[in-house]
Structure 1
């Protein structure tokens, strides 16, 4: 993994407290969307370094059982072999807390904890990328635009400084051997909706410009969502979900 942003946004609907949870991630290798984002109605997290395919499922179960995310991460990391734990990065937000954990063997790694958001990365050219992501997100936090759109926009703020020392990127003066990367965004809300919002779960699995392509994919998915809702009188029709 290279960089990722996890977000919790509480809001009110008819006097009831609801949550939006989201993750955006980008990497200098293909397929990060299948591994890094962990999002449910109880929290959002992202993994880096030594990624365990089952860790996300275990974390989701802990959160569903009411375990705070910082306590859940402590248990999960404590159960791992020391050498694996030192090379793993895990961060995220739950309903009432947040957590960042970066093993000391993670390469050029750093993290930020903003309480309702966390941002972290490995193989960073500099920590400027994390600050850029955090600043872009906090400038639009709780805004009217869909969370998925704001997450992608925040992720794009890191491209000027570069997101991975292993990636060939002339604009950021990186000359690493990797040219094909990936990016993903996923958002889950606790609010019941009649129609599936196609733009809330998107991946670009292999691209030479993954973040830009994720933005293009998002815009197309948003257009498709709007067209589908406009075209059918009953948005909860199972044929269009």
Structure 2
């Protein structure tokens, strides 16, 4: 019903400290995918799909927070799940990647595991959907900014949307008779930020154009975040609860 990507990236923050961010993005030809499939924290990112078991995502993140390696955490959950043959589960942790596609997932289904990322999908038009998603992410991640850190200038949230777009353009979910679609993304980091960017947690719950709408939502959220920081940065710094968002 879905295809998704999970990512781990290392980077250097403005203070010169090494940090790690995790991201997950997903789209499908059903409504509300953001409530079911993507999970992320400062310890990893997980996507649960096919015949969805939300507990695999929730508990997977909890296990990563407890210090388990991603392959140990997700394999343990699958081994305890009677629905394992119908599950698709993948993700990244602090030091590894994991992907599983049960033999009873509906075709086309499969996954790709790369350096620091995983991509998986089922009920797709073909294998080229996941391959295009992976290739688009790799190309964007390889872009080097002017500085020496080789950290892409474009935020991960934006690059995740473009990776989904590449797969979507090749057909994506093959159920063309279902016009109501959705998309979502989550990005989390080990960095202690005063305020998380609004564009790191986005959902488009019901639309006929999920990628376009997610891209537009990202653009507006980024604009709003930059305006808020420009106009009220001093207030956020002075507020002892600066980690919270005024609303």
Does residue 43 (structure 1) correspond to residue 49 (structure 2)? The answer is no
Structure 1 counterpart of 2:156, from 144, 147, 152: 147
Q: Which runs of 5 or more structure 2 residues have no equivalent in the other structure?
A: 142-150
Residue 140 (structure 1) shift: 1.0
Give the structure 1 partner of residue 184 of structure 2: 184
Q: Unaligned regions of 5+ residues in structure 1, if any? A: 169-176
Give RMSD over aligned pairs. 1.4
Residue 53 of structure 1: CA displacement?
2.4
Secondary structure of 2:78's aligned partner: helix
| 2:70/2:96 contact within 8 Å kept | yes
Which residue does 1:173 correspond to in 2?
none
* 1:240 is aligned to 2:243: no
Structure 1: how far apart are the matches of 2:120 and 2:156?
A: 19
Secondary structure (helix, strand or coil) at the match of 1:234 reads helix
Asked if the contact 1:8–1:22 (Cα under 8 Å) also holds between the matched residues in 2, the reply is: yes
TM superposition score normalised by structure 2: 0.89
Q: How does 1:5-154 map to 2 (within 5 A)?
A: 5-13=5-13, 14=15, 16-81=17-82, 84-108=83-107, 109-141=109-141, 142-154=151-163
Deviations 1:43-96 (A, max 9, x none): 011111121222222111110111000011110000011xx1000000011000
Superposed displacement of residue 12, structure 1: 2.7
Q: Report SS of the residue matched to 2:77.
A: helix
Equivalent residue pairs, number: 230
Question: Counterpart of 1:174?
Answer: none
Contact 1:228 1:240 in 2 (8 A): no
Give the structure-1-normalised TM-score.
0.91
- Deviation by residue 1:183-211 (Cα, 9 ceiling, x = unmatched): 00110011011122100000000000011
